[in-house]
Amino acid sequence: MIHFLSISEARFEEIFPDDNSCLQWLSEMKWRDGFICQFCGHRHYCAGKYPFSRRCTKCKKEESAKANTIFNSCKKPLQNVFKMMNYIYHHPNVSSRELCEHFSVRQMTCWKIKKNVELLIRETDNLLINKKQL
């Protein structure tokens, strides 16, 4: 997931021009190894009611692309959150106060997003280290 953060800010606008493109990318990443229902483990699905959601054909439970991701409880437009995450990646020493002023978002929201980006970077670094040890 971290590779979407390393895109230049200019290229970012081309790839993610709106919330739908962000949601599409998120669904592709989430289910890149195939759909597995979180409720019953079934692998077959059909389209859900909402964009890029999937509905299990066995238990009929619907799962959004944001469910069980760091974006699960995100109420902000996804494109704005992606922009913030990309900005944080390119400016790792930015404070939550500076983010707050730059994006006109509450400081606590900026702090949470910054912590999620730091977690993603740490997890990616750990994966790379573990692969090298194998």
- Kindly report, residue by residue over 7-56, the tens digit of the pLDDT: 888 888 899 999 999 999 999 999 999 999 999 999 999 999 999 999 99
Provide the pLDDT for residue 34.
Answer: 96
In whole angstroms, give the CA distance from residue 120 to residue 29.
14
Give the predicted TM-score (pTM) of the model. Answer: 0.83
Confidence grade of residue 73 (pLDDT, cut at 50, 70, 90)? confident
Q: What is the mean pLDDT of the chain?
A: 89
